Amino acid sequence: MATQHSRSAARIMMAPAVILLLGWMLVPLTMTLYFSFKKYLPLRGGDLGWVGFDNYVRFVSSSAFWPSIQTTLIIVGGVLLITVVLGVLLSMLLDQPMWGQGVVRILVIAPFFVMPTVSALVWKNMFMDPVNGLLAYLWKFFGAQPVEWLSDASIFSIVLIVSWQWLPFATLILLTAIQSLDSEQLEAAEMDGAPPLSRFGHIVLPHLSRAITIVVLIQTIFLLAIFAEIFVTTQGSFGTKTLTYLIFQRVLESQNVGLGSAGGVYAIILANIVAIFLMRIVGKNLDA
């Protein structure tokens, strides 16, 4: 009964949640915009007045800016590639009837429950440590020189850690998609003479395309903001400084809030460009 009365009652009841969410979003956003136009150095004189677009120009013209964009794109792209490819393969594997299916599926999701900080620490100290790490033992077992993962293959190491965390998410979404595939379609294709690889390419992959775009969209938005993994492992050295990490360094290490805020505004713009771009792809896919 959507009468005038019940509608206004609904509005009043939703108001606290809406106000809270708006405040949560608007206050930090306004503060970021406010500081981005100021020269604000907390330990070196505090608020030194308005500077116009100075911070924006300085942030972009810094020698660290473009490398950080490149690093961000490499990490996001690498993680997406690994999680989608392995996610498709893993979800097809998990879709097969097998003994202990329920337990195996829960175990597969498990990495997603581990906090980013914890998983980065575990990887850093238990796997990738060149002296005590499991991978170092493995290398030594085969008589090879252990790899110093976090300094020699730093970006790859971080991609590996983040992929490990996000693979369960991709697998889970793709598994539900694959379970909704009508088995008669596969049988029809089999009767039509399609060998297994063609069946995958012509039937399974198109069926998964929508789920894959959703995985890519959601992961991109979260991956643009990864921070803990870098902070815990390389602290931004060895070419692992992403845009997020650069902003962190500007604000906390250089104690330049204004410059960092300008970077934050750039990050908002970048994330929105990606989001709009991906929304259009998803929208097109959802129409079909």
Partner 1 sequence: MGQITLNQITKSFGEVQVIPPLDLQIEDGEFVVFVGPSGCGKSTLLRLIAGLEDVTTGEILIDGNEATRVPPAKRGLAMVFQSYALYPHMSVRKNIAFPLRMAGIDKETQKAKVEAAAKVLNLTDYLERKPGQLSGGQRQRVAIGRAIVREPAAFLFDEPLSNLDAALRVNMRLEISELHNSLETTMIYVTHDQVEAMTMADKIVVLRAGVIEQVGTPLELYHTPRNTFVAGFIGSPKMNFLTGAFAEEYGTDTIGIRPEHLDVSQSEGKWSGVVSVSEHLGSDTFLHVDVNGLPDPVTVRATGEFGVRHGDTVHLTPDTSKIHRFDKQGLRIA
Phi, psi of 156 (to 5 degrees): -60, -40
Is the CB of residue 83 less than 8 Å from the CB of residue 167? yes
State the nearest-atom distance from the C-beta of 183 to partner 1, in Å.
9
Residues that bind partner 1 (CB under 8 A): 182, 184-185, 187-194, 198, 202-203, 206-207, 209, 288
State the nearest-atom distance from the C-beta of 176 to partner 1, in Å.
17
Q: Kindly tell me which of 58 and 202 has the beta carbon lying closer to partner 1.
A: 202
Q: Kindly tell me which of 12 and 288 has the beta carbon lying closer to partner 1.
A: 288
Helix, coil or strand: residue 224: coil
Task: List, in order, residues 6 or more apart from 4 with CB less than 8 Å away.
Answer: none
Q: Give, as one character, the DSSP assignment of residue 145.
A: P
State the nearest-atom distance from the C-beta of 280 to partner 1, in Å.
19
Identity at 29, one-letter amino acid code = L
State the nearest-atom distance from the C-beta of 12 to partner 1, in Å.
42
Task: List, in order, residues 6 or more apart from 225 with CB less than 8 Å away.
Answer: 244, 271
Is the CB of residue 226 less than 8 Å from the CB of residue 75? yes
Q: Kindly tell me which of 47 and 182 has the beta carbon lying closer to partner 1.
A: 182
Q: Kindly tell me which of 4 and 180 has the beta carbon lying closer to partner 1.
A: 180
